[in-house]
Structure 1
Amino acid sequence: MKPSGLTLLLLLCALLPAVASTPGEDAVRQMPMAHAALAGRDATVKVHLVSARGYLDGKPGDAAGLARLHAEVQACVQRNSERGIASKPPQAWPEHVISMRLDTYAAVNRSIVYAAGLSYAIDPRDCSLMEARTGTASLSSSLGTCEIDLLAKTAHGHCDATGHARAAPPRHQPAMTAAQRADIVRQAAGSPAMAAFAAAMQAHPQTGTGERKTIAGLECEVRPNPLDPDGRNCLSRGGSFSSLDAVGEAGMSGMTLEMSSPNGIALRATQARLDTLVPNAVFTPYLDGGFRITRPGSRP
């Protein structure tokens, strides 16, 4: 049987130097979380916090993307050699073609997510790796959102002086009981509309799978990934309040400690804490100086 193109790429990847990490990936991994960088300021806000590492694992998958990256470098070096052009193939290979780090802080009435991203591609001129970086933060609450570009130093939206400290807490809606769910399924027999609702409810159940894990020192409950029917999320239990992912459920702080998605992002927490105090400045990175802030309706 003739091997497929993907198989050949994977075999090629196995023959090339082992994947380690790039200086860029090391820098993202080692950078302190926002609250650690702000150590020494008054800790005034109770939050749940999670630092997670992830990568894009959409089809055909991260491994295939890395194999293709190696293959493209080899082809580039051979092409340049035939033309008498010098090449600079990479000395360090990335762990992932597209990777990210997400640092999430959730208070009872607001949350902010810091996102650092890296992506790699081949420079066809000398066969080196081109690295693209992103650094953003997104603050959200009942007041609206503030979208922050940490590299360009711009902020756009509802970016007030308090970091949404005055936002109202969300109104928690109670989770549907097992009896209520069973009643909907019974009603579906005589109603096409109810049947469609019941099918969607069963495809994306509110309740967990029954599986629990311990990740980064916290217990979490495995649930269907609402963005991918084939994926799973593990949401943290415990804590004195619920994040937006766990609205209305007692005992669920609801921080995402692990995410699997065959069609999207793979994510796992490396650090997590519930009910810990951090400086309010965690929610206002745009006030550190040098930022240009614009309001909704304007362009940053």
Structure 2
Amino acid sequence: MTKDKNILMLIDFENIYIPSIKQYELQITESGLDKLIELASIDKKLNNSNILVFAFWDHYKLYKQYFTNSFYSVIDVSEDGESCADGYLIVNGMAKLSQQKDDIDEVILFGGDSVYSGLVRYLLSIGKKVKIYSWKNSYYSKLRINRNVEVFYIDDVLNVKEKDDCVKDGYFTSSVLSDGEKAVIKRFLTTKFDYLYLTTTANDILKSTDIGFNDINLYQDAIDFLYRCVDNGILLIDRRTGHRDGDLVKVLIINKEHSKVKAVSQLIKKK
């Protein structure tokens, strides 16, 4: 019987998030993160406490909540600056490894920066196999020191070269603010209530003369559009139970922490 491999996963979250925004104008979703971690750890024994995630979380509050809810070890980088997370990852990763040195067979590193070359060399020197997941444009080629280092490009793993497909799969959402998103955000920000009903909002979209909704002609299309806004984090399904005409209905609220919501909010203030 083959012995299960125990692995340690070290995630520099900004190395996942920022390159996709800059290069592809795509923002990774929770589904994309789930898929990435699943593919990286497939056929291996993975303890969630052995997934260490690093970032200056003030910039990524919703993602921090996702990682925390997944029972991963979330490490808060106290300084906001380039390469700050790198140092935290190296120090905390080596400390974790020293505690479980004999139990860890493989280390999976999400981050392709050159600063990690010393860590990779150290891992190889103590007999650990290393896998690196990185975006092509942010990968330092000399991290592939020998055959015990495997490199996987996130671009290929999540099929980002087919931009529409990876969005359709739910792994990413476009970071470009569409006319429809702008219109629905304005609708939520300017209502006198702090919530709106899903069904009522869908009907309002169909009646609206806003050019952002020009491509939405059917009720189901309006519902699908609102659910896409939920999937990409612009809208949230409220925990409150809504009742209308005796029926149970879903209640939506705006996510004021979302970058697109903040952008539209600033446009409204300027007017």
TM range (shorter): under 0.3
TM-score (norm 1): 0.21
Larger Rg: 1
Question: Which structure exhibits the higher relative contact order, with contacts defined as CA atoms closer than 8 Å and separated by 6 or more residues?
Answer: 1
- More helix, by proportion: 2
Q: TM-score, normalised by structure 2?
A: 0.22
Name whichever structure is richer in strand by fraction. 1
